[in-house]
Chain A
Amino acid sequence: MYIGDFKETYASDQAVFVNTTSRFWLGVLFVLLAVFPFVVGDYLLFMANLIGITIIGAVGLNILTGCAGQISLGHAAFIGVGGYTAAILSSRFNMPFLLCLPLSGCMSAAFGIIVGGPSLRLKGMYLCIATLSAQLILEFVFVHWESMTGGIRGINISPPQIFGVVLDNDFKFYFLTVTLVIICVTAARNLFRTRVGRAFIAIRDRDISAELMGISLLRYKTYAFAVSSFMAGLSGCLWVNFLKTVTPEHFPLLESVRYLAMIIVGGMGSILGSIFGAVFMTVVPEGIKSILGLLVSVFPNAMSFLFPLQQVIFGLLIVIFLVFEPHGLAEIWRRIKNYFHLWPFDH
């Protein structure tokens, strides 16, 4: 019989994966992640990489917007800064990938801190506009600083190399992506077990009384922008190395909006929600596309109006979803988990 979580020490009570059940499922997850690339085809491997790269970006945005309450419309541009940094460092300076990766993160973080600076004065809508202009300015720079960014043609790079292994296909790249996803998710989760994460949430919920607790708004808002855009930079670096090219059209305003939609659908302020959101926003459009593809093969004449329908269906799905579950996929997950609380150890 289950008689509640009885824990011997505070340490085990504070642990993230507290009981045998969640340890078990975590183990299952790792095994699945390890087996996955050996059993699936090229298309799914490609998708898995895409999703992983998106997850890193989404976790970053969720820390800033979902947890610390600082809304940003410039996330795609920060990803872009990371991407261009990686491309330039690798194509011009032949810098090894393992150096490019942290440097891309740092470059984005620096931009994030600069853009986040005004957040001390600006709130809500005003901060939104400030980040929006950062997005537009950076987009402009990507296109027009041709000597550096290669303009609209962009930059092509050779596949990354780690410890002598050239990651020239999706299979090899998968292991890099998964490793980085695990590191970023763990680091984000860690942060919210300490005073830094608590300070973020306090700032989101009530600026003034946060200050009364001795929390410096300047310091923690800067931290939030730094961590968030560092992860954006990592995501950008991976993205560019995965596609082996970078062009400005990868980082438009719409992509920033897509990231916001992702964390809203997944669950604001929830790390797990960022993962769900990233999966949803990557997989569902593909699903719609393949269903429509089937329909077109049956009714070839419908082609002309079915394809534009993709976006509409996707948009509708998001709206319907938010009406019925405003707290996002993470909330649905929580309910399912509570329902199956103890399985398979519920003897």
Chain B
Amino acid sequence: MSILCVDDVSLAFGGLEVLCDVSFEVNEGEIFAIIGPNGAGKTSVLNIISGFYRPKKGTVFFKGADIGHLTPDKRAAQGMSRTFQNIALYHGMSVLDNIKLGAHSHLKTGLMGGLWYWGAAHREEMALRKKIEEDIIDFLEIETIRKQPVGSLAYGLQKRVELARALAMRPEILLMDEPVAGMNAEETEDMARFILDIKEEHNITIVLIEHDMQMIMDISDQVLVLNFGQKLTCGTPDEVQKHPEVIKAYLGREKNQ
């Protein structure tokens, strides 16, 4: 069953056509990869799904309903969370506080409760801490850095913390923009394992943008190929790899580089 459906979407900035009639369906519980050369419009697709960009034409369906009119925070509340190509963490805060922020909309403490703290607010914080420790910190193996300010962490770890924060939002679908960019082989392997575990153990659908072909072919169920804002093809990794247009686009790119 499809959880997310992008139907005939076009996007333009002024005269610049960024996306042109792009359609695809993401099935519940799969890893759906979007690949394509730089500037192909991959991040723009995620921005349309999470509500930062309004498409010129076309519709986005989430869990069967048209979500075109919803702002980003409403879409987040419906079970969509996301990580960014340029990490968007709060550098002054500790790792733990960053992750807790992800859970914001699942908490209830109000202004008065917060000022008073003892009682309900305290219980809520303790339950949250326990949940985060057990479900997220353990899982992503970031126990040793939980108290450190995010700004002091290596790039690969920051990406992991960003994933932790996205998980704390308890999403049904997770949009990830280049989760392993700039990572070494070992970090990449860890991240690939986490992504697979998120899909299998937490039953979260994942839409993922990546340039790392090896990883894409290893973990994804479906791959969408974009080129200059157009859909080249969409299918299983095997099908996509054999597609003549893809070979042409990618070989062409390599020759240019």
Shortest CB distance A69–B (Å): 11
Note all chain B residues with C-beta closer than 8 A to A10. Answer: 126, 129-130, 133
Q: Are B91 and A196 in contact (CB under 8 A)?
A: no
Measured in the bound complex, the distance between the Cα atoms of B91 and A201 in whole Å is: 10
Q: Does B109 contact A (CB under 8 A)?
A: yes
Name the prevailing secondary structure of the A interface residues. Answer: helix
With A195-B107, A198-B104, A211-B73 given, is the CB distance from A14 to B114 under 8 Å?
no
Q: Are B72 and A187 in contact (CB under 8 A)?
A: no
Measured in the bound complex, the distance between the Cα atoms of B116 and A202 in whole Å is: 21
Note all chain B residues with C-beta closer than 8 A to A187. Answer: 115-116
Residue of B nearest to A216 (CB): B73
A residues 139-193 near B (Cβ < 8 Å) are: 187, 190-191, 193
With A14-B126, A194-B109, A194-B125 given, is the CB distance from A227 to B115 under 8 Å?
yes
Q: Does A325 contact B (CB under 8 A)?
A: no
Q: Are B73 and A205 in contact (CB under 8 A)?
A: no
- Residue from the list A11, A190, A191, A227 in contact with B126, Cβ < 8 A: A11
- Residue from the list B82, B92, B107, B116 in contact with A212, Cβ < 8 A: B82
Note all chain B residues with C-beta closer than 8 A to A213. Answer: 73, 76, 101-102, 104-105, 165, 169
Q: Are A195 and B114 in contact (CB under 8 A)?
A: yes
Q: Does B215 contact A (CB under 8 A)?
A: no
Measured in the bound complex, the distance between the Cα atoms of B105 and A294 in whole Å is: 60
Residue of A nearest to B126 (CB): A11
Note all chain A residues with C-beta closer than 8 A to B82. Answer: 212
B residues 53-100 near A (Cβ < 8 Å) are: 71-73, 76-77, 82, 84, 88, 90-93, 97, 100
Q: Are A201 and B90 in contact (CB under 8 A)?
A: yes
Name the prevailing secondary structure of the B interface residues. Answer: helix
Q: Does B145 contact A (CB under 8 A)?
A: no
Q: Does A328 contact B (CB under 8 A)?
A: no
Note all chain B residues with C-beta closer than 8 A to A209. Answer: 84, 88
Note all chain A residues with C-beta closer than 8 A to B111. Answer: 191, 196, 223, 226-227
Measured in the bound complex, the distance between the Cα atoms of B41 and A76 in whole Å is: 51
Residue of B nearest to A11 (CB): B126
Q: Does B117 contact A (CB under 8 A)?
A: yes
Q: Are B101 and A202 in contact (CB under 8 A)?
A: yes
Note all chain B residues with C-beta closer than 8 A to A205. Answer: 90-93
Q: Does B50 contact A (CB under 8 A)?
A: yes
Q: Does B110 contact A (CB under 8 A)?
A: yes
Given contacts A191-B115, A269-B92, could you give 13 more A-B pairs where the C-beta distance is less than 8 Å? A10-B126, A14-B125, A14-B126, A190-B121, A191-B117, A195-B103, A195-B104, A198-B104, A201-B93, A206-B90, A209-B84, A213-B101, A227-B115
Q: Chain A: residues with CB nearer than 8 A to chain B?
A: 10-11, 13-14, 187, 190-191, 193-199, 201-202, 205-206, 209, 211-216, 223, 226-227, 269
Q: Chain B: residues with CB nearer than 8 A to chain A?
A: 50, 71-73, 76-77, 82, 84, 88, 90-93, 97, 100-105, 107, 109-111, 113-117, 121, 124-126, 129-130, 133, 165, 169
A-B contact pairs, 14 of them (CB 8 A): A10-B129, A11-B126, A194-B121, A196-B109, A197-B114, A198-B100, A198-B104, A201-B97, A205-B90, A205-B91, A213-B104, A213-B165, A214-B76, A216-B73
The 7 closest A-B pairs by CB, nearest first: A214-B105, A190-B117, A196-B114, A194-B114, A187-B115, A209-B88, A10-B129
